[in-house]
Amino acid sequence: MCGDSRKCRTLRAKSLAPSMTIEIIPSLLVGSKSEFERRLRLVENDCEVVHVDILDGTLFPNTTWFDAASVGAMRTNVKYELHLMVENPLPIVEAWREHVETMHRAIVHSEVHRPLGAIIEHIKDMMKLEAGVALNPETPLGEMHEVLHKLDQVTIMGVHPGQSGQAFLG
C-alpha cells in the first residue's frame, strides 16, 4: 500500500530517458466492497491513479470484487485503471465507463482468446480510454508486434496473475 505520498507521485526517469514517465500506482486486489473502499481511502489523497485488479475466474482461477456501480458511488478524484485478468474484458470496461466518471485506462491480458487488436481499438476509439496490454512472465514479447503501435502502456508481469504476495519471478 502506498502510505507515503512521495511513492505515489509520477516520477521522471531522467537517467533512463528524458521523455520516459514512470508511474508508481497502488493496486487494489480485493474480495469485498468494504475492503475496496477501505484501501481506496488509504491512498486517495496521495495518488492520482489507482490500479484495480479484476478477476472473474474465466482467464485465471481467482475472483475479485469489482462492482462498477458501487465504485461509482464512492466519490473520489482518483483516476482508475483496470487490470482485466478476464476472458471477455469489454463488458466490464463498458460498465466501469458508464458508472465511474474517473475511469482512465484499461489493461487487458495478451492471453485472451479474442482478437486483441479489436479489443484495444474498441477501448481507445469507442470508449475514449487509454489502453494497455499485460504479458504473463512466460509470454514472448513478439506476441505484441501487431498491437504495439496502438498501446499507451505495456505491463510485464513479474508474477503469475491472480494472487497477491507471490515471490517475484526473476
Residue 104's closest CA among 143, 85, 132?
132
Confidence of residue 165 (pLDDT cuts 50, 70, 90): low
Per-residue model confidence as pLDDT tens digits over 68-115: 999 999 999 999 999 999 999 999 999 999 999 999 999 999 888 888
Give the CATH number of domain 5-156; options: 3.20.20.70, 3.40.309.10, 3.30.465.10, 3.30.413.10: 3.20.20.70
Residue 64's closest CA among 165, 137, 164?
164
pTM score of the predicted model: 0.83
Rounded Cα gap, residues 42 and 2, in angstroms? 8
